[in-house]
Chain A
Amino acid sequence: MATIRYEREGGGKVDEIAWQAQELKVVERPNGPAAAAMIAGAIGVLVLGFLTTLNEASTDAHDFLEFWKSVGPLSGKTLIAVGAFLGSWLVLAPLLWRRNVALNTVLLVTAVLITGGFIGTFPKFFELFA
């Protein structure tokens, strides 16, 4: 228990706030659902980077990714990446829902995939394959 006490100029002490120990109820859930979401998000980012680079490397891929002519291949790249994110989440979530997994490994995999995705979207990188 802690008390904030201050003294008034005219004399006298005042205890303004008295802290009391309180109980926080937490129902611990397994980390599997979080792991599934993180890996799925990282897969989405990686697919985005991969398709961005593939679009430069192959004219066939460029043409295939042009879902809407007005948007160009960006339409295919982004929609497939979002599909990969949601699809992999849909697959991973039921598999990991009640499980506790090694979170350090999940974080490492997530970081590697996201870094790969970021690099794939970087123009100086994907122009190497043009």
Chain B
Amino acid sequence: MELTDRETWTALHGMVFGALFLLAFAGGLAGLWSLRPEWVTLTGLQERMFRLKAGVATMAIVAWVTVATGTFVVYPWYRDPPPVPQGGKFTDLPLDVQQDFPRAVLLNTPGKEEWHKFGMEWKEHVAWVSPILATVVAFIVLYYGNQLIVDKKLRYASMALFVAAFAAAAIAGLLGAFITKAAPLQ
């Protein structure tokens, strides 16, 4: 049982960093939602605020690491052009060679083209929305801190941006999982 370099980086990108971001989202949203003086004590609010600050800052960093590894480490392997001889076809290559080129596998397998043309094309772009918006939310939480407890409008705006960051990451994560199933990076 072992993982190749490519499988290790793919797992780090999707199953460690990406999954960490998606899992932490629920905690962050609950933290923002419950910043209400009528629900908890002052001590409780201060404890939640510390946890929220640490959580959103970590999420923003994890989001950047996820898209950076995905785009600049894993994606080049995905889109690597196959060594098709002049005048030849991708499907002429031996099967064990074909499987090293996931993009070409998808585009040359009937019924799987849309996983690249729609799935990967959307995933590779929309994923970058997530760290940008997560950074904005992290800044607001870190800079305003306790003010978010009393400033409802700013708190709701932060929550909306947080949900948009999550939506982008969820789309990218879901499509990434399906694409990896359709043509694994090995």
Q: Are A26 and B135 in contact (CB under 8 A)?
A: no
Please, which residues of chain B bring their CB within 8 A of the CB of A28? Answer: 147, 151
Contact of A70 with B76 at beta-carbon distance under 8 Å, contacts A31-B154, A123-B121 already known: yes
**Which stretch of B6-14, B88-96, B138-146, B177-185 is in the interface?**
B138-146
Please, which residues of chain B bring their CB within 8 A of the CB of A75? Answer: 71-72
Please, which residues of chain B bring their CB within 8 A of the CB of A74? Answer: 71, 75, 124-125
Please, which residues of chain B bring their CB within 8 A of the CB of A78? Answer: 67, 71, 128
Count class of interface residues, chain B: 35 or more
A30-46 CB contact bits vs B (8 Å, 1 = yes)?
01011001101100110
Please, which residues of chain B bring their CB within 8 A of the CB of A110? Answer: 157, 161
A12–B125 alpha-carbon span in the complex (Å): 65
> 8 Å CB contacts to A: which residues of B107-163?
117-118, 121-122, 124-126, 128-129, 132-133, 135-136, 139-140, 143-144, 146-147, 149-151, 153-154, 157, 160-161
Q: In the complex, which of the residues A29, A85, A117 contacts B143, with contact meaning CB atoms closer than 8 Å?
A: A29
A23–B45 alpha-carbon span in the complex (Å): 12
For the complex formed, measure the closest distance between the CB of A100 and the CB atoms of chain B, giving whole angstroms.
Answer: 11
Q: In the complex, which of the residues B45, B126, B139 contacts A24, with contact meaning CB atoms closer than 8 Å?
A: B45
Q: Are A121 and B71 in contact (CB under 8 A)?
A: no
Please, which residues of chain B bring their CB within 8 A of the CB of A33? Answer: 139, 143
Q: Please report the total number of A residues contacting B with Cβ < 8 Å.
A: 42
Please, which residues of chain A bring their CB within 8 A of the CB of B132? Answer: 41, 44-45, 48, 81-82, 85
Interface residues of B (CB under 8 A from A): 37, 41-42, 45, 67, 71-72, 75-76, 79-80, 117-118, 121-122, 124-126, 128-129, 132-133, 135-136, 139-140, 143-144, 146-147, 149-151, 153-154, 157, 160-161, 164, 168
Q: Would you mind naming 19 contact pairs between A and B with Cβ atoms under 8 Å apart?
A: A23-B42, A24-B42, A26-B150, A28-B147, A34-B139, A34-B143, A37-B136, A38-B157, A45-B129, A45-B133, A48-B132, A49-B125, A70-B80, A74-B125, A81-B132, A114-B133, A117-B129, A121-B122, A123-B118
